[in-house]
Copies of this chain bind each other. A is one copy, B any other.
């Protein structure tokens, strides 16, 4: 019932991928426990240095002998003016005051060249450490790097939010494509049309993508249990990638403030915002999002805005405040539980088996 082309490619028992959530959520224990429970654990390495990546890969190898993967952010070009930084800081300074943080006067914006160089160094570590699976968000690496990765026998997973993006991933040589529905928490993976408006629900996205690509499709967005797994499979996906469901697990490194916010949220409390990072992302609505809302169209691009809000995000969570913390969540927070990874995966599989037997009656 659960074995297919995708589970064979990834060499896993169940068609469940733990979403590679960046920012400290994917602890080595989380990743290893997912892989030990028959799914695919993934390191969310988007914001990690090459050194940190190497360390975590080695740590996880000690905790599991099953395959696990890693996710990298493909850098998008960005431009920024001093004025844009100044206006963004003018909006952020009153918030800094509320958090007892100093004003930011001499901000040094990151250069695209150095962001890109870091990305190449991340890829090199991935290849050197012989990690079997690597996924990408925000775009597709250049042909040159796709060839290098393939030479290293790494299974490559792309991310798409539309049919066109899925087709581009297939053309570029990805082995699998994750389709991210509008339900998904965290950053939107759009890389062709970068507006928020191409947010397509999974009920529409999965069948239209599978009709247009021949590589395995994995569904992501709002999937939390056996119902979501079997529904995704009926729509044509070979498996699912789940973020929020793993985020509230005991083994996840998400801060208590973040976990609690999700565990108490309702399905209509999340919103798309670009105020935290400069890229559209779905999280639980809070004071920061509300205060920045009318300016969000004019904020600097990712990763500039992300760097600008770094001190605020850190301080807010250290002070146990939901108000100025990005509370990334998909649209199914009512289905989130605080449980072990093993219990989550076992429950999904049991539910899925039961559902199929009921429908087949």
Q: A residues within 8 Å of B by Cβ?
A: 1, 162-164, 181-183, 193, 197-208, 211-212, 219, 221-225, 227-228, 230-236, 266-268, 271, 330-332, 334-335, 355-357, 359-361
A200 to B232, CA, bound (A): 17
CB distance from A61 to the nearest CB of B (A): 34
Q: Do B200 and A202 touch (CB < 8 A)?
A: no
Select from chain B the residue with minimum beta-carbon distance to A285: B197
Q: Do B271 and A197 touch (CB < 8 A)?
A: yes
A192 to B271, CA, bound (A): 17
CB distance from A177 to the nearest CB of B (A): 15
A359's partner among B206, B228, B234 (CB-CB below 8 A) is B234
A267's partner among B204, B232, B235, B356 (CB-CB below 8 A) is B204
CB distance from A192 to the nearest CB of B (A): 9
Q: List 19 A-B contacts (CB under 8 A).
A: A182-B199, A182-B201, A183-B201, A197-B268, A201-B222, A202-B203, A203-B221, A203-B222, A203-B232, A204-B330, A205-B331, A207-B225, A207-B227, A207-B332, A211-B334, A234-B359, A356-B359, A359-B359, A359-B360
Select from chain B the residue with minimum beta-carbon distance to A205: B267
A291 to B330, CA, bound (A): 32
* Residue from the set A207, A223, A335, A359 with the largest chain B CB neighbour count within 10 Å: A207
CB-CB under 8 A from A231, the residues of chain B are 203, 231-232, 234-235
Select from chain B the residue with minimum beta-carbon distance to A222: B204
CB distance from A351 to the nearest CB of B (A): 10
A225 to B206, CA, bound (A): 12
Q: Do B193 and A230 touch (CB < 8 A)?
A: no
A360's partner among B204, B205, B266, B356 (CB-CB below 8 A) is B356
